[in-house]
Structure 1
Amino acid sequence: MPMTPNIRGALFMALSMAGFTLNDSIVKLLTNEMSVAQVMFLRGTIATVLIYLLARQKRALRPLRLLKDKWVALRVFGEVGGTITFLIGLAQVPIANASAILQALPLAVTMGAAMFLSEPVGWRRWLAILIGFAGVLIIIRPGFEGFSPYSLMILGTVLLAATRDIATRKIDATIPSLLISTVTSAAVALAGLVLIVPMGGWAPVNATQMSMIAVAACLLLVGYQFIIMAMREGEISFIAPFRYTGLLWAVLMGYLLFGEIPDIFMIVGGTIVIGSGLFTLYRERVRSKAKPASRAAVRHSP
């Protein structure tokens, strides 16, 4: 029995989140043996080569002058900054906690779109955003025993990633996505190279570590490709909630690889964040369905 577009999209989204989370797990293991900057450089270099080859195959390469755009620059800044803050934070906090905080990204994008792109957001979604960020505070628990300042780095990642996603909406549609991804990945690798000395210098890399970095880069590419495939299948409102399967993968990897068991703060806070995100998606679906109805009412009005 063939799968429907919605089911295929949901499967692709789940595979994307698995790719991203497995990549994060490998990176967290590697940061015990080398600096975050060195991991960024090595993984970024391999990922850039892979994305470049894919872009070349898809005939997506264009003159770089097309990228002389403030929105492209802002997207690159958000990606580079988000990668730096996330990897620094990930090295120091449980992977499930980091993943749970990242689930606030859709809420941050909705808030940013309302503030900077003038997209309409009703009071229900604003309330959901506030409740969702309250859930993040429960996970971080500032001022309490067990608080890690590195959790604030992950929160910074949410804000930088939201900046990246909002900027992406403003980029000219004629610029191929793979071209932007190639340049962005190269920028991340270059940032890692620049930061190697300030962050502790170069550590020798053995064959096992290099293999792990190569696998992480491939998993990163898998994540990017499957999320693109997911968003091109079926209804986004049906597919988007499967983004939260990343948290399940993070809990599993945290337990199997690092012996991490989620505490009550992470469970309660993560549940609140995911619940707020799902409600926001639901309200977006209701609003999108109401638009055609309102337009039809206008057309048929006397």
Structure 2
Amino acid sequence: MNSNLSNYFKGVSWFLLALLSSVLNDIISKKIGLEFSFTQISFLRSLGSTLTLIPFILFSGIKTLKTKKLKIHFLRGILLFFALSTWVYGLTITSVASMTIISFSIPAITLILANLVLNEDVKWYRWVATILGFIGVIIAMYPTKTVFDIRMIVLLLSAFIFSTLDIINKKFVNSESMISMLFYSSFFSTIVALPFTYHSWRSLNYIDLSLIFVLGSSANLILYFLLKSFSLVDSSAVAPYRYIELVLAAIAGFLFFNETVSHYIWLGGVVLIFSTTFIFYTEKNNIKICSKF
């Protein structure tokens, strides 16, 4: 197996791990979101992420936090807070699967931004895979009336912010240490969230604290997995694989919240899986062809 193909497989694998961690986060966020404000959850998630990184910082040395891009990290923190807050809000008003459907506007946004901001050469087959995935999204969301709720505009904004974060992370992942990328986004997000949380604060019990710890740890894993993926492949190369999250979210919603999954969602899921299979084999064959020259 040549190095390009190996990196592609590894990049996709890291990205899929990020999706699994993301679904876990959605489950926990939805559960505690029924009891606490979305701003408090965003604050606690960011705080938990920051605290769980401290042992790694102490082990690696404070020098790992050295950066010349503090303003960029602060911007990432601001974006992360608003993305998380609107996302958790969405989980409290609709199903996990429906929220995942909303998130599928992210690949198209990522492709456009990758082309405009990163000057990535977005191959034709990546556009095809993304369009196929979007068709699957339309099929899946057809019977879901809540998708057309005016409040969904806020959730689409959340998807745009997350996509913007993906692009920023991709742009700076190779010039910053992994720990600094993880720490500063969580730290600044915590700072930004603090004033929004003050007036809506509710006390937590031990179970809540345990869930927050898992939420914070899982949040770090999501970003870690994404950064590992982006260090190996273009962000546009893995964008279509995000659609697999729909199937994972539908299963999780049914198992943990007894959320019914219509046959439209499963039909859309089949189209989504087809799109990811298409992009996987197309990328694989393209890399093999390029390696011959």
Q: Is TM (by shorter chain) over 0.5?
A: yes
Q: Is the 8 A contact 1:77 1:164 kept in 2?
A: no
Structure with more of its chain in helix, by fraction: 2
* Residues 1:115 and 1:241: Cα distance change in structure 2 (over 3 Å): closer
Q: Which residue of 2 aligns with 1:214?
A: 213
Residues 144-183 of structure 1 mapped to structure 2, 5 A cutoff: 147-171=148-172, 173-183=174-184
Q: Is the 8 A contact 1:237 1:281 kept in 2?
A: no
Q: Which residue of 1 aligns with 2:249?
A: 250
Q: Deviations over 1:180-238 (max 9, x none)?
A: 210101122223322225xx61122222222221222223234444556677899x999
SS of match in other structure, 1:250: helix
Q: Which residue of 1 aligns with 2:3?
A: none
Q: Is the 8 A contact 2:243 2:276 kept in 1?
A: no
Q: Which residue of 1 aligns with 2:52?
A: 50
Q: Tell me whether 1:120 sits opposite 2:121 in the alignment.
A: yes
Q: Is the 8 A contact 1:237 1:282 kept in 2?
A: no
Q: Which shows bigger deviation, 165-174 or 99-108?
A: 99-108
Q: Which shows bigger deviation, 139-148 or 76-85?
A: 139-148
Q: Which residue of 1 aligns with 2:29?
A: 27
Q: What is the aligned-residue RMSD (CA, Å)?
A: 3.8
Q: Is the 8 A contact 1:44 1:185 kept in 2?
A: yes
Figure out how many residues of one structure are paired with residues of the other and give that number.
286
CA distance in 1, matches of 2:230, 2:172: 18
CA distance in 2, matches of 1:138, 1:202: 40
Q: Which residue of 1 aligns with 2:66?
A: 63
SS of match in other structure, 1:55: helix
Task: Point out where structure 2 has 5 or more consecutive residues left out of the alignment.
Answer: 1-5
Counterpart among 17, 20, 41 of residue 19 in structure 2: 17
CA distance in 1, matches of 2:106, 2:41: 24
Q: Which residue of 1 aligns with 2:103?
A: 102
Q: Which shows bigger deviation, 204-213 or 32-41?
A: 204-213
Q: Which residue of 1 aligns with 2:278?
A: 279
Q: What's the CA shift for 1:137?
A: 4.0
Q: Is the 8 A contact 2:38 2:86 kept in 1?
A: no
Q: Which shows bigger deviation, 98-107 or 154-163?
A: 98-107
CA distance in 1, matches of 2:131, 2:11: 29
CA distance in 2, matches of 1:225, 1:184: 12
SS of match in other structure, 2:259: coil
CA distance in 2, matches of 1:291, 1:132: 26
* Letter matched to residue 259 of structure 1: N
Q: Deviations over 1:224-256 (max 9, x none)?
A: 44556677899x999998766544432232112
- What is the TM-score when the length of structure 2 is the normalising length? 0.77
Percent same amino acid at aligned positions? 25
Q: Which shows bigger deviation, 262-271 or 176-185?
A: 262-271
* Residues 1:9 and 1:177: Cα distance change in structure 2 (over 3 Å): closer
Q: Which shows bigger deviation, 23-32 or 275-284?
A: 275-284
Q: Is the 8 A contact 2:18 2:223 kept in 1?
A: yes
Q: Is the 8 A contact 1:237 1:285 kept in 2?
A: no
Q: Tell me whether 1:194 sits opposite 2:195 in the alignment.
A: yes
Q: What's the CA shift for 1:75?
A: 3.8
CA distance in 1, matches of 2:109, 2:283: 14
